[in-house]
Amino acid sequence: MSQILHLDGHGWVCKPYLGMDWQRRKAHEPENGDPNGWIPATVPGSVQHDLWQARQIPNPYFERNSLLIEWVPQRTWVYRKCFTVDESARGQRARLTFEGIDYEAEIFLNGISLGHHRGMFTPAQFNVEDELRYGAENVLAVVIEPAPPEQPQIGRTSLVRTHKTRMNYWWDFCPRIVHLGIWDQVTLEFTGPVRIEDLWVRPQLDEALSHASVTVQTVLDATHATDISLEVIVRHEGQVVAVTQVKQYVTRGRTTIVSTLDLPEPELWWPNGMGDQPLYEAEAVVWDTTAMPGAASATRRVRFGIRQIKFVPNDTPDATARSYTLVVNGRKAFIKGWNWVPMNVLYGVEQPGKLAHLLTLAQRAHVNLLRVWGGGLIERESFYDLCDRLGLLVWQEFIQSSSGIDNRPPEDEAYIATIVGEAEVIIPRRRNHPSLALWCGGNELMDDAYRPLDERHPVLGALHEVVARLDP
């Protein structure tokens, strides 16, 4: 059975370095040849916030203090954490996952380089069963490189080279505080030889909306060829409402198994103001019936809602725009939407109370859709979970935005590969949320005549293909 060790929270420390001085001082090694000058760090978090809490910098939110901390993203930052793993975990598969590192880093475990990662919206994942010390202390080190240069609000979109939050490089509502840090969860997952890599739940309603066919796509990863048993269970309010089981021979590596479950008279998920937001849970459990016949090798759970969303052309279309109406479960939805930007310039700092307060305010104001602005974030999982429960549809933009001088994304193959590669990871990690209504290419992307760009632009065309393939 899957076991997860959470490595986020407190217990981290961090320290700045210039150039490769961290390597010369062995700041990434277990013995740590540079023991002085470290400050407490919180993960998820922000380097700037940790410095402020340690009284190393002034309050970054006060007056013009942001001008006094522009040195921070010009340094290399080394994070360290010590932890132990029980001897009983020996022999299991172990995967270390950083859900979000901002922006580029090399990761070390017990002085051994696990690899390099670039991109704040895609996870850094490593198999670490061979590097772990069982029944003893382990030292995890993350070396975050200086922040990449990027375009502020008044610049050229055509010169953008990263898929990184741009508002922090200076925007009309945001001072220049270029963010760095481990900004999302860190986990160490232990499983048997067959692991569940992905679980995609796709409910389809019949025309009468009285019956749901739930397709569950489970992606397995096996260390060896073996016989497996996969059970998929659907629950509602804690009660089992559907079960299916598959027994199959799988080869080493990845195998995709598709299961179908029938749900008569399902409870439908509705946007705020149109009905309730009932949520179901799908659980996949896999057994390696050859190597581990009596114990589950891995398990995975996701919450989902049963709803139907369509974009229907308007009866009186506008010749100057794509004119459509959002139809949910057969009923037209009058959209009452707000724009959502990151609620904190130091967005790595978790503020669950503030997040719940703001989203609840939106619900109480009869909002039914939040447009997540393309200069900000692909939000953390907690944002979409709350939107699911509150009935707030999400219009999620990829992190591309206009810039004032020109508003066209780059068209070269390297940039397209970066955006597409990230989209192929981001979409599967969010697509089970019933609140997620649509993906958008970015914010205010236009040609030089200020006409909105569409799929004819190479980047938007590539994103259109990825969304159609991974979240149709």
453: domain CATH number is 3.20.20.80
Residue in 40, 73, 6, 41 with CA at minimum distance from that of residue 345: 73
Q: Looking at residues 261-265, what average pLDDT do you find?
A: 97
Helix (H), strand (E) at residue 326: strand 324-328
Which of 157, 172, 190 lies at the terminal end of a domain, its last residue?
Answer: 190
Count the neighbouring beta carbons within 10 Å of the beta carbon of residue 144.
Answer: 25
Whether residue 149 sits in one domain with residue 58: yes
Question: Is residue 330 a part of any domain in this protein?
Answer: no
Residues pairing with 125 in the sheet: 97
Q: Looking at residues 87-109, what average pLDDT do you find?
A: 98
For 360, the token pair is: 């609840």
Residue 162 has pLDDT above 80, yes or no: yes
Whether residue 205 sits in one domain with residue 168: no
Whether residue 130 sits in one domain with residue 48: yes
Q: Is 344 exposed, middle or buried (0-12, 13-18, 19+ CB in 10 A)?
A: middle
Between CA 108 and CA 326 the distance in angstroms is 48
Question: Is residue 314 a part of any domain in this protein?
Answer: no
Supply the mean pLDDT for the chain. 97
Distances (CA, A) of 23 to 18, 180, 210, 215: 10, 19, 63, 50
The one-letter amino acid at 471:
D
1-5, 89-93, 169-173, 239-243: which has the minimum mean pLDDT? 1-5
Whether residue 83 sits in one domain with residue 182: yes
Count the neighbouring beta carbons within 10 Å of the beta carbon of residue 32.
Answer: 19
Residue 291 has pLDDT above 90, yes or no: no
Between CA 359 and CA 365 the distance in angstroms is 10
The number of C-alpha atoms within 13 Å of 90 and in the hemisphere containing its C-beta is 7
Residue 317 has pLDDT above 80, yes or no: no
Whether residue 166 sits in one domain with residue 254: no
pLDDT tens for 341-384 read: 999 999 999 999 999 999 999 999 999 999 999 999 999 999 99
pLDDT tens for 43-60 read: 999 999 999 999 999 999
pLDDT band at residue 321 using 50, 70 and 90 as cut-offs: confident
Which of 304, 323, 344 lies at the terminal end of a domain, its last residue?
Answer: 304
Between CA 415 and CA 426 the distance in angstroms is 16
Q: Looking at residues 244-259, what average pLDDT do you find?
A: 97
Q: Looking at residues 157-178, what average pLDDT do you find?
A: 97
What total of structural domains would you count in the chain? 3
pLDDT tens for 183-209 read: 999 999 999 999 999 999 999 999 999
Whether residue 104 sits in one domain with residue 209: no
Residue 411 has pLDDT above 90, yes or no: yes
Q: In what order do the strands lie in the sheet with 393-397?
A: 337-340, 369-372, 393-397, 436-440
Query: How many percent of the chain have pLDDT more than 70?
Result: 100
CB 453 within 8 A of CB 425: no
Whether residue 17 sits in one domain with residue 37: yes
pLDDT for the residue 127: 98
pLDDT tens for 16-41 read: 999 999 999 999 999 988 999 999 99
Between CA 283 and CA 302 the distance in angstroms is 7
pLDDT band at residue 163 using 50, 70 and 90 as cut-offs: very high
Whether residue 223 sits in one domain with residue 166: no
pLDDT for the residue 315: 84
Domain limits at 219? 193-304
- CA angle 443/329/212 to nearest 5° reads 115
pLDDT band at residue 319 using 50, 70 and 90 as cut-offs: confident
Count the neighbouring beta carbons within 10 Å of the beta carbon of residue 331.
Answer: 13
pLDDT tens for 109-148 read: 999 999 999 999 999 999 999 999 999 999 999 999 999 9
Between CA 445 and CA 456 the distance in angstroms is 12
Q: What is the pTM of this model?
A: 0.96
Whether residue 365 sits in one domain with residue 462: yes
Question: Is residue 119 a part of any domain in this protein?
Answer: yes
Question: Is residue 318 a part of any domain in this protein?
Answer: no
CB 359 within 8 A of CB 329: no
Residue 292 has pLDDT above 90, yes or no: no
Helix (H, G, I), strand (E, B) or coil at 367: coil
Q: Looking at residues 285-303, what average pLDDT do you find?
A: 91
pLDDT for the residue 94: 98
Whether residue 461 sits in one domain with residue 339: yes
Question: Is residue 313 a part of any domain in this protein?
Answer: no
Question: Is residue 28 a part of any domain in this protein?
Answer: yes
Residue 289 has pLDDT above 80, yes or no: yes
Question: Is residue 309 a part of any domain in this protein?
Answer: no
Distances (CA, A) of 214 to 269, 305, 306, 307, 471: 14, 11, 9, 11, 15
According to DSSP, residue 171 is labeled: B
Residue 314 has pLDDT above 80, yes or no: yes
Whether residue 343 sits in one domain with residue 446: yes
CATH of the domain at 228: 2.60.40.10
Number of H helices, E strands in the chain: 6, 28
Question: Is residue 315 a part of any domain in this protein?
Answer: no
The number of C-alpha atoms within 13 Å of 137 and in the hemisphere containing its C-beta is 7
Instruction: Give CA 109 to chain center in angstroms.
Output: 23
CATH of the domain at 106: 2.60.120.260
Whether residue 228 sits in one domain with residue 119: no
pLDDT for the residue 1: 66
pLDDT for the residue 318: 79
Which of 304, 325, 360 lies at the terminal end of a domain, its last residue?
Answer: 304
Instruction: Give CA 125 to chain center in angstroms.
Output: 13
